Chains A and B, each alone.
Chain A
Amino acid sequence: MLKWLEKNLPKIVMAPAVGLIGWFVYGFVLWTLYISFTNSKILPKYELWGVGQYVKLWGSRKWLIAVDNLLIFTALFLIFCVVIGIILAIFLDQKIRAEGVLRTIYLYPMALSFIVTGTAWKWILNPTLGIQKMFIDWGFENFTFDWLVNREMAIYTIVIAGVWQSAGFVMALFLAGLRSVEDEIVKAAKIDGANLFTVYWKILLPMMRPVFFTSFVILVHISIKSYDLIVALTQGGPGISTTMPALYMTQTAFHKSQVGLSAASAMMMFMAVAAVIIPYLYSELRRENAR
């Protein structure tokens, strides 16, 4: 008995982690999948109802708006975060004085919660007392900036706050990537007559392929899960104009008590994330095996 215990101790120690994740992640996802095939309202019902909830979901105007917003947000969020992140990383890589201070400033938003960020930006973007008033007081009397309460533009306020929060993170990833490149490569290129721009554009950035990939995966992942920021900034409004899937899911479940429909939307989110993550994990694993 003692011998068996000793032999299997590692597996026994491993068991809580595997068991908890097995149940609370995989078990729960399957459970949600099951609920999505039922006609559950406030309380779960357990007789199967088929794909009705999915049909209802994709026929819902609110869900379509949510998906639309997600696509707009993801595209802009990705582009701005990556462009700003790369510019900052390259510039910081030029033996800058006070690099440490600047880096700290660029990255501190990552330490704040989206609720704190959202609260701050909501005040800054406040149509009467925020940025608008600042410009009017500076003499731009006709300046208007009402994106926060404008149906067409409100989604872009979420982009502004989201980029502010996450661009520094992309900077950190790229800076780490650039620093891992051997100095000799850059020196050799310079001796061959390449200027700094060419060095980055033709040599260093192409070498950053894995970093681009990582940033892409992480940013898309953040944007699919976007929830807190919208709650703090717009609550999905004005109207339903800034609803996104994560907000749709909780609202449908906990305010509208449409548990089945909500589970269906959760499964759509799950599949979207899986479509991005599984290829990523696969490639990471292959890279590790090759090492």
Chain B
Amino acid sequence: MQDKTYSSYKQLEQKSKYTNLFLRWFLYFVLIIFALYFIFPLYVMVVTSLKTMEEIRQGTLLTWPSGLNFDSWLVAWGGRGYGAGDTFLKPYFWNSIKMVVPAVFFSTFIGAMAGYVLTKWRFKGDKWVFLFLLFGCFIPYQAILLPMARTLGVLGISNSVIGLVLVHTVYGIPFTTLFFRNFYVSIPSELVKAARIDGAGFFKIFFKILLPVSTPIIVVTIIWQFTQIWNDFLFGSTFSFGEAAPIQVALNNMVLSSTSVKEYNVDMASAIIAGIPTLIVYVLAGKYFIRGLTSGAVKG
């Protein structure tokens, strides 16, 4: 019976092979058109950043640059060297690094602990605690902006990298908790129970049993948090200005400042510099990036 179904299915496939050929061409055609649509802005950014302003005025968006001219990149990164009013990305890039590293570390650690407790040391009402934390993934941050500005002021850490670390750590916790909780829920609790009977304590169980198998979810969480925090603009622009600003804020200021003649090549080089760290992470660890996106599909 099984064999018969299988062979008739095969025959069907054979018969429709030629009608399918047209369909397949159509399929590839559509997929490639969309691929071009998605690639187009990146292509335009890269070629524009390599052109001189003269070339930009003469050619079109698609025109290939006359040579590999990285001048705009150097200006975007290090400025023109005339002091006041010369904004360039280098210091803000480091601000972002100084903000991202501790914020990712703290939020991941707190989330791992919370996820561990919520799945392996369950207590009465833990479901509600989870829901309580989960809701934090969704709140529109506008609803906390004013109190946060005031709080950072009172603590004396407004307009500082430390203030942004605090903000990103706190609002990352709901996501990191969600990731770890959903991961640990799939690890058999029997292991933990057995270890408890053997007398292992809270931390020993975590470090000996759960941590060794946690690598994938740690990678997912770190990538997720890194991308979110690196790309943040709302918190950065609200709670910092001037020298403490992260890179996205600096990029926006550079592009918007209309002091002199608009230099689109420098704008594009700046945009690429601001986008490249997350892009590299995506290309190197796309699998984990997508897993973060879809497994935390509860997210926003």
Chain A positions within 8 Å of B, measured between CB atoms, are 6, 9-11, 13-14, 16-18, 20-22, 24-25, 27-29, 31-32, 35, 44, 84, 87-88, 91-92, 94, 96, 102, 104-117, 119-124, 126, 129-131, 133-134, 137-138, 164, 168-169, 172-173, 176, 187, 190-191, 196, 214, 218, 221-222, 224-225, 227-228, 231-232, 235, 245-246, 249-250, 253-254, 259, 262-263, 265-267, 269-270, 273, 277, 280-281, 284-285
CB of A6 to closest CB in B, whole Å: 7
**How far is B122's CA from A17's CA once the two chains are assembled, in angstroms?**
16
Report chain A residues within 8 Å CB of B170. Answer: 20-21, 24
Q: Which of B155-163, B212-220, B274-282 contacts A (4 or more CB under 8 A)?
A: B274-282
Contacting pair A221 B279 (CB below 8 A)? no
Chain B positions within 8 Å of A, measured between CB atoms, are 5, 8-9, 12, 23-24, 27-28, 30-31, 34-35, 37-42, 44-45, 48, 56-57, 60-62, 110-111, 113-114, 116-118, 121, 123, 127, 129, 131-136, 138-148, 150, 170-171, 173-174, 177, 201-202, 227, 230-234, 237-238, 248, 251-252, 255-256, 264, 267-268, 270-272, 274-275, 278-279, 281-283, 286, 289-290, 293-294, 297-300
Return the contact of B38 from the options A21, A164, A249, A281 (Cβ within 8 A): A164
Report chain A residues within 8 Å CB of B174. Answer: 21, 25
Contacting pair B227 A281 (CB below 8 A)? no
**How far is B40's CA from A121's CA once the two chains are assembled, in angstroms?**
10
Contacting pair B110 A17 (CB below 8 A)? yes
Contacting pair A191 B5 (CB below 8 A)? yes
Return the contact of A119 from the options B27, B135, B136, B255 (Cβ within 8 A): B255
Contacting pair B268 A123 (CB below 8 A)? yes
Contacting pair A114 B41 (CB below 8 A)? no
Contacting pair A32 B146 (CB below 8 A)? yes
**How far is B140's CA from A134's CA once the two chains are assembled, in angstroms?**
39
Q: What 7 new A-B contacts, CB under 8 Å, besides A119-B268, A130-B61? A: A105-B35, A111-B279, A113-B233, A116-B231, A116-B275, A269-B143, A273-B138
Most buried by B among A25, A117, A235, A284: A25
Q: CB-nearest residue of chain A relative to B279?
A: A111
Q: CB-nearest residue of chain B relative to A210?
A: B297
**How far is B135's CA from A172's CA once the two chains are assembled, in angstroms?**
24
**How far is B231's CA from A21's CA once the two chains are assembled, in angstroms?**
22
A111 and B297 in contact, given A94-B27, A164-B38 (Cβ under 8 angstroms): no
Q: CB-nearest residue of chain A relative to B45?
A: A120
Q: CB-nearest residue of chain B relative to A245?
A: B142
Return the contact of B230 from the options A102, A113, A117 (Cβ within 8 A): A113
Contacting pair B141 A225 (CB below 8 A)? yes
Contacting pair B140 A113 (CB below 8 A)? no
A88 and B34 in contact, given A28-B148, A119-B271 (Cβ under 8 angstroms): yes
Report chain A residues within 8 Å CB of B5. Answer: 191
A221 and B146 in contact, given A164-B41, A254-B238 (Cβ under 8 angstroms): no
- Of the A-B pairs whose beta carbons lie under 8 Å apart in the complex, a sample of 10, sorted by A's number, is A6-B201, A20-B110, A25-B171, A92-B31, A108-B42, A113-B248, A115-B274, A116-B231, A190-B12, A281-B131
Report chain B residues within 8 Å CB of A22. Answer: 132
**How far is B255's CA from A14's CA once the two chains are assembled, in angstroms?**
43
Report chain B residues within 8 Å CB of A249. Answer: 142, 145
